[in-house]
């Protein structure tokens, strides 16, 4: 397809650089570095790629800037002949942010010797969201499945397992109370408001932290006896920028 695109646009093909490797790590990108050497040497005036993330999953703008410094043009086939809508540009910005966040997330897991990541996911979580009209609209537009996929394939590179699990009864059962996230223990009234959960003994815990522990319990029912220790009552804010 790329060759046909080049021929139809009058581009002369002097070389093809191709690697079968990760778009995040550059360890096995031998031909990619050969291309960079040729660009720096002034031997390449144009690089044609199918999509922006073919060079790298992130930092397309950086490569665009560097290539220009060596008088090399980047042509993205998917963008030729079609003007982007504002919504498309916003979506691309969101995807870029998700790449950055997921990479930071996985790097945190790697640096802390975390071997398993558990992610709560319900097929209809967007359709059943009840956070107000404006928040609902913004929430349903976020590509959460794409974020989970990014976390999965990036984690795989470091040998970190990712487990998806459903979230039923995790918001109305208490980790500090030692409850299993099942229907018999469910009591939604203990979720005082969106950010606060109150245990049977009156201990207050961030609702999302409580829910996260209960999601973990879906996969590891004996989480604390299996070597997972310590309960944080408040979330830690991490800057993903």
Residue 195 inside a domain? The answer is yes
What is the span of the domain harbouring residue 213? 86-219
C-alpha 25/C-alpha 107 separation (Å) is 12
Q: Which of 37-46, 82-91, 124-133, 167-176 has the lowest mean pLDDT?
A: 124-133
Residues 159 and 207 both lie in one domain? yes
What residues does 198 pair with on adjacent strands? 204
Greater model confidence, 126 or 179: 179
Residues 148 and 179 both lie in one domain? yes
CATH code: domain of residue 51 = 3.40.50.1390
Residue 23 inside a domain? The answer is yes
Contact 154, 140 (CB under 8 A): no
The whole-number pLDDT of residue 239 equals: 61
Average pLDDT across the chain, whole number: 80
Residues 67 and 99 both lie in one domain? no
Helices (H) and strands (E) in the chain, counts: 7, 7
Confidence of residue 48 (pLDDT cuts 50, 70, 90): very high
Residues 108 and 190 both lie in one domain? yes
Domain count, the chain: 2
Greater model confidence, 52 or 172: 172
Residue 66 inside a domain? The answer is yes
First to last CA, the chain: 35
Residues 60 and 124 both lie in one domain? no
Residue 235 inside a domain? The answer is no
Alpha-carbon distances, residue 118 vs 92, 100, 114, 156, 215 (angstroms)? 26, 19, 11, 14, 8
Residues 203 and 102 both lie in one domain? yes
Residue 230 inside a domain? The answer is no
Q: Could you give the 3-state DSSP secondary structure of residue 210?
A: helix
Q: What average pLDDT score do residues 105-133 get?
A: 75
Q: Which of 137-141, 162-166, 195-199 has the lowest mean pLDDT?
A: 137-141
pTM of the predicted model, to two decimals? 0.54
Domain boundary among 79, 103, 131: 79
Q: How large a percentage of the chain has pLDDT more than 90? A: 25
CA angle 231, 237, 241 (to 5 degrees): 145
Residues 61 and 129 both lie in one domain? no
Question: Crossing angle for the helix pair 86-111 and 144-157, nearest 10 degrees?
Answer: 40
Q: Which of 87-101, 166-180, 182-196 has the lowest mean pLDDT?
A: 87-101
Q: Return the structure tokens found at 186.
A: 């469910």
Confidence of residue 230 (pLDDT cuts 50, 70, 90): low
pLDDT at 81 over 70: no
C-alpha 15/C-alpha 38 separation (Å) is 11
Q: Could you give the 3-state DSSP secondary structure of residue 205?
A: strand
Residues 158 and 209 both lie in one domain? yes
Greater model confidence, 87 or 157: 157
Q: Return the structure tokens found at 155.
A: 């984690």
The whole-number pLDDT of residue 237 equals: 61
Residue 27 inside a domain? The answer is yes
pLDDT at 22 over 70: no
Domain boundary among 79, 96, 119: 79
Residue 240 inside a domain? The answer is no
pLDDT at 123 over 60: yes
Residues 72 and 99 both lie in one domain? no
The whole-number pLDDT of residue 199 equals: 87
The whole-number pLDDT of residue 176 equals: 85
Domain boundary among 24, 55, 79: 79
Greater model confidence, 40 or 238: 40
CA angle 157, 54, 51 (to 5 degrees): 135
Residue 182 inside a domain? The answer is yes
Summarize pLDDT for 7-17 with one digit per residue, the tens: 888 888 888 98
Residues 68 and 141 both lie in one domain? no
């Amino acid at each position: 397809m790329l060759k046909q695109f080049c021929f139809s646009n009058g581009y002369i093909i002097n070389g093809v650089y191709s690697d079968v490797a990760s778009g995040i790590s550059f360890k096995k990108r031998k031909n990619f570095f050969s291309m960079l050497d040729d660009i720096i040497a002034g031997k390449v005036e144009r690089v044609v790629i199918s999509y922006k993330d073919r060079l790298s999953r992130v930092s397309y703008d950086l490569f665009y800037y560097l290539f220009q410094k060596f008088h090399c043009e980047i042509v993205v086939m998917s963008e030729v002949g079609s003007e982007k809508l504002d919504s498309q540009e916003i979506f691309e910005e969101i995807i870029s942010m998700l790449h950055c966040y997921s990479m930071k997330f996985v790097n945190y897991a790697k640096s802390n010797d975390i071997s398993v990541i558990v992610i709560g996911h319900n097929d209809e979580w967007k359709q059943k969201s009840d956070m107000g009209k404006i928040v609902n609209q913004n929430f349903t537009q976020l590509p959460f499945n794409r974020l989970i996929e990014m976390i999965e394939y990036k984690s795989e590179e470091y040998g970190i397992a990712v487990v998806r699990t459903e979230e039923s009864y995790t918001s109305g059962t208490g980790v500090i109370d030692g409850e299993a996230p099942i229907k018999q223990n469910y009591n939604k009234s203990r979720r005082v408001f969106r950010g606060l959960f109150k245990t049977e003994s009156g201990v207050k815990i961030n609702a999302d932290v409580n829910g996260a522990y209960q999601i973990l319990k879906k996969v590891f029912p004996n989480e604390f006896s299996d070597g997972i220790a310590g309960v944080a009552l408040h979330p830690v804010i991490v800057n993903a920028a």
